[in-house]
Structure 1
């Protein structure tokens, strides 16, 4: 009896076929020529076709006749299968007319049907593809699409996209549109662009990933299309709504746009340009973001398990609930540092003004190095640079201080290692620092944020006494008269040595008066702070009495009512943590907890007054995120004393891989040392 043996990977159908062959072999002679037989049959059928033997239908196309076999046509084309098997008139005719295909193209397709191969001249690929799509010859269609995708360029991408759209070739249409988007700066200057239909132009201009050097190029493309025909001016308003006007310099808006007749005749267009002018004065977090970017949190330096870090990484909170990677490594600092300042500055336009809304450059100032305090300033733009560049140094070395962007300048406030009553301002246009000596109060470790043109300094105290107080000081007091509108600058959680009481004030630039404001409800230092929806949030910190206590308390200050409100407490108590307000949420990253550096990333929603632990920082012992995997081996190491900012990072930025850790990176005490 035949024994039934099979492998676990075989399907039921394959096993049945194998058993049947084994049964047949016992009583029969089995002939199998699986490779030669199909070729033999095709060659025989093609020989019959060429000799006009046993042909039962003649295809008529372009004045030429092609004798064929219905069975062969129906087997390689669903078009012919439906024609000959579904009771159509052609199924009873000896001669069938084929329309919409040229004779030499049909001849190429018949060659493929009878030989399984065909050589298509490059100049006929598009015509063959159209015919293969109509006759539903899948293999030829796929090969032609593949060839066209490989040969898309600036000159033909618009034509290929229109062709693919007309023939419902979705893959080819997607590939050609992807090329148009990523090379739009060159594509819109091609001859075909002004001839596109309005719907296609509208679709292209609305893409988030549209690759242009500046938003002005989008406006120029729209005007190039509109100027093709006088009647197209009716679409100008629609195009203007698609252009990110706040990203265009004020001088360009005034000189190139406001002077247009179509703008003068449209109140809606005038309103859009006026609103764009006003948005140039918004802080970075509220400004319109450039195309081809994604908002991420960038973390720089800090320490883990007592070891200083030189790491620069970005976190995408939107991926915390997916399986996609949530961290990306960027170019490392040239040194290891903690307690430094970090800020984002915008780019300079052709008039020498800093446009904060398009800022992508990171600035790292001061900080604590190995055994010293630094006064150096470094610059790095992840979208354009592959290394950090040293800029002009501060006048004083400082760490544990506040660094903020205000009206296109960097401001360094307070800190250790310097005269704590001094603040200084950096001008990126001249690469110079200016020292200011009239800070009203000294402060060890302020955390600085921008809000509506005033300078706030929160909660200073001596090592034994935490003070829940707030100081505000306007930049005009420090620098004299300024010509441009300003934003507020806030610093939180500082300490004033030997002070037992520090009053809280707000300086009004319009009245040049100091006004006392309400103190915080929970005294603390080493807290983090940020602004969200016009309010100031002070988060975590430590309370010093007899024993230092790390807190999870959060409170919110409303400048319009001069009142503090207690918010929901964090899940984890922390101080010296990183904090960012981004996408309508507040993110608190790492920090120093009761038992060491924290891994947790906590998210706060002001609408529901709730906290959630969304993910974890990378484990600096294993160099990978430990969330949500089960931990094994040594306790993972978090991060504290670092700085972080939100940044609209280009989607083209590539990850810079870091060296993997080795067992030798851990010393006898268990501290982790990175490469």
Structure 2
């Protein structure tokens, strides 16, 4: 609070030099007109245009006395203390009075309070009081958490048909299976069936029906009473089925854009594969995997160091590419790619040159573990803090390790397998950042170097690699509670020196080396079913890349690519049925 504001507030407390009294019910607030004029367009007009200059008493019946007290306190001090359950009321009053600074305070608090239960009411509130910024954030939250919103929000059945259409048409609507959108539409219709049944054709036309299973369309959508009894819905369903059956036909791609019924939605997160080797030549490119469209897009930044056998991590909206090699000599340099601005910048280098090492993120730090400096395998480890742009050494590992995989789980680091300069390792160890100590954990069942390690399903997974004789397809998982490794389903193909990450509840392995060389093959593992599935191949054969996941980007379309080419369905037999 400034000195002038402090003086005015002291005068108000003593009721000195006050030239206005605001009366709310029976409560009276003795004030200085100039103070309220400085913060509120409403009071400026009230005092200068809507009433004679000599008036002192003003009755206001649009606000409660306690909210008026908050308004007055903010006008004089620039701050406000209000209970969470009164923020909405204060936001409404601040909007009515045109108190821009207070609107910003309330807006920030409402953004912090967004939940699947509250986001729709905040969306409608911000629309009613014309706050485009808050409205956009509330809508984005709704789209991202759509399934939870439908399940828990009391506001969902109260949406207007226009509001529901707005949600359904948005590419950002996040659903793992498009069938969920149909179930949500029917839930909305059935909350008032007599009044809303007539909206069925409109709403069905807004669904991405060609992204659904054909059996679901035939057995569920077409057999639902509201759809079955609507003549207008039948050509929409036929069109969707024809699109599904024709997705692989060359004639489909003669069109410059695909039907809205087949348009893939934007993914909430994107899998990035940075750098790597093609034919033993390091590359600088980034490929991004769009899980909703099941395709890879090449991201072509203007600059960037070609790197292979490096580490990559996403932190605070930036992709960090760390160490690795550009030719024979390992690097200690670090490049940061701003995922929103699409620009590269070099940041502080590591203490050591490292290639074939582990990189992971924990509690806002990027950790670099082990590796090879061109002469020997390393035990040393260090971590980077973006806010200070500094690397700091931490405790050295129990063993020298290059070609090892690492991850973070439950506030600890894990590094598994690798090569110590003499032999391939089955050992693994865990780092506690609070005690700055490494501890050996039980050995894996297999020796693994060039393996992928990732935290998934509350376990540490070690996948593939090379055991000194064979390239492996096997996988195993460490359960910290049981302090033991257990075998899990093997990959469909053996590989080493590949990228690994977790996206949309599935574990992905990307590219790598097999007995014939670099591969573009990608597959994913679902812990619930215990099965591996093939997904779209990378655009190039590549090994020794590093993978990580970026989410929450407002420019996700830059990484997801055009939406005019739908995903290919792999359900050929089902389609033909």
TM-score normalised per structure 2: 0.50
C-alpha distance after superposition, 1:387-444 (max 9, x if no partner): 2011111111111111111111111111111771211121111111112353332211
Please list the CA deviations of residues 161-218 of structure 1 after superposition, one character each: whole Å capped at 9, or x if unmatched.
Answer: xxxxxxxxxxxxxxxxxxxxxxxx9xx99xxxxxxxx9985565899xx998789975
Q: Which residue matches 1:527?
A: 451
1:519 match: secondary structure:
coil
Question: For residues 396 and 643 of structure 1, do their structure 2 counterparts lie closer, same or farther at Cα, with a shift above 3 Å needed?
Answer: same
Residues in 2 aligned to 1:606 and 1:447: alpha-carbon distance in whole angstroms: 20
Deviation at 1:314, TM superposition (A): 0.8
Q: Decide whether aligned partners of structure 1 residues 557 and 653 sit closer, same or farther in structure 2, where only a CA change above 3 A counts.
A: closer
Partner residue, 2:318: 361
- Is 1:542–1:549's contact at 8 Å kept on the other side of the alignment? yes
Query: Distance in 1 between the 2:436 and 2:120 partners?
Result: 54
Instruction: Flag the 1:610–1:396 CA change in 2: closer, same or farther, 3 A.
Output: same
Give the match for residue 561 of structure 1.
Answer: 482
Residue of structure 2 in register with 1:452 after alignment:
410
User: How far, CA to CA, are the matches of 1:388 and 1:213 in structure 2?
Assistant: 29
Closer, same or farther: CA 432–594 of 1 in aligned 2, 3 Å: same
CA contact (8 A) 1:361 1:381 kept: yes
C-alpha distance in structure 2 between counterparts of 1:201 and 1:213, whole Å? 15
| Equivalence for 1:334 | 304
Q: Could you give the per-residue CA deviations for residues 283-333 of structure 1, whole angstroms, max 9, x where no partner exists?
A: xxxxxxxxx97211011100112221110121112222xxxx542424255
User: Compared with structure 1, are the counterparts of its residues 332 and 441 closer, same or farther at alpha carbon in structure 2 (3 Å cutoff)?
Assistant: farther
- Partners of 1:201 and 1:368 lie apart in 2 by 52
Tell me if 1:401 matches 2:388. no
Match of 2:492 in 1: 571
**Is 1:440 the counterpart of 2:398 in the alignment?**
yes
In structure 1, what is the Cα distance between the partners aligned to 2:307 and 2:364?
25
Q: After the TM superposition, which residues 144-159 of structure 1 pair with which residues of structure 2 at under 5 Å, given as runs?
A: none
Structure 2 vs 1, CA of residues 612 and 330 (structure 1 numbering), >3 Å: closer, same or farther? same
Contact 2:358 2:370 in 1 (8 A): yes
Give the gaps of 5 or more residues in structure 1.
1-184, 190-197, 222-235, 243-291, 347-359, 480-506, 508-513, 620-637, 659-675
Once the 2 structures are TM-superposed, how far is the Cα of residue 618 of structure 1 from its aligned partner? 0.2
CA distance in 1, matches of 2:491, 2:126: 40
Cα 1:387–1:586 shift into 2, 3 Å: same
Cα 1:597–1:419 shift into 2, 3 Å? closer
Q: Structure 1 CA distance, aligned partners of 2:137 and 2:536? A: 39
8 Å CA contact retained: 1:337, 1:368: yes
- Does 1:380 find its partner at 2:331? no
Q: Following TM superposition, where does structure 1 have runs of at least 4 consecutive aligned residues deviating by more than 4 angstroms?
A: 198-207, 210-219, 236-239, 460-464, 653-658
Which runs of no fewer than 5 residues in structure 2 stay unpaired? 1-99, 105-117, 142-152, 160-265, 562-577
Matches within 5 A, 1:90-239: 204=124, 218=138
Structure 1 residue 336: Cα displacement: 1.1
C-alpha contact 2:289 2:560 (8 A) present in aligned 1: no
Matches within 5 A, 1:208-607: 218=138, 294-320=268-294, 326-331=296-301, 333-346=303-316, 360-383=317-340, 385-417=341-373, 420-436=378-394, 438-462=396-420, 465-478=423-436, 514=439, 517-544=441-468, 548-607=469-528
> Would the aligned equivalents of 1:330 and 1:656 in 2 still touch at CA under 8 Å?
no
Q: Residue 287 of structure 2 contacts residue 297 of structure 2 at CA under 8 Å; is this kept in 1?
A: yes
Number of residue pairs the alignment of both structures matches: 324
Relative contact order (alpha carbons < 8 A, sep ≥ 6): 1 or 2 greater? 2
**Residues 312 and 332 in structure 1, CA contact (< 8 A), matched pair in contact too:** no
Q: TM-score, normalised by structure 1?
A: 0.44
Contact 1:329–1:657, Cα closer than 8 Å, also in 2: no
Instruction: Tell whether the 8 Å contact from 1:581 to 1:646 is kept in structure 2 after alignment.
Output: yes
Q: In 2, Cα distance between the equivalents of 1:399 and 1:435?
A: 17
Distance in 2, Cα, partners of 1:405 & 1:313: 21
The 3 A distance-change label for structure 1 pair 206 and 528 is farther
Give 3-state SS (helix, strand or coil) of 1:315's partner: strand
Deviation by residue 1:534-588 (Cα, 9 ceiling, x = unmatched): 10111000011xxx31010111111111222111111110000001111111111
For residues 335-370 of structure 1, what are the alpha-carbon distances to aligned partners after superposition, in whole Å with 9 as ceiling and x for unaligned?
211011111112xxxxxxxxxxxxx21111111012
RMSD: 3.8
Asked whether the 8 Å contact 2:462–2:475 carries over to 1, the reply is: yes
* Further displaced range: 396-405 or 455-464: 455-464
Compared CA separation, residues 200 and 552, structure 1 to 2 (3 A): closer
Cα gap change, 1:419 to 1:211, in 2 (>3 Å): farther
In structure 2, the CA distance between the partners of 1:476 and 1:206, relative to structure 1 (3 Å rule), is: same
Deviation string, structure 1 residues 102-153 (Cα, Å, up to 9, x no partner): xxxxxxxxxxxxxxxxxxxxxxxxxxxxxxxxxxxxxxxxxxxxxxxxxxxx
> Structure 1 residues 205 and 427 mapped into 2: Cα distance closer, same or farther (>3 Å)?
farther
Q: Is the 8 A contact 1:311 1:332 kept in 2?
A: no
Displacement after TM superposition at 1:649 (Å)? 5.5
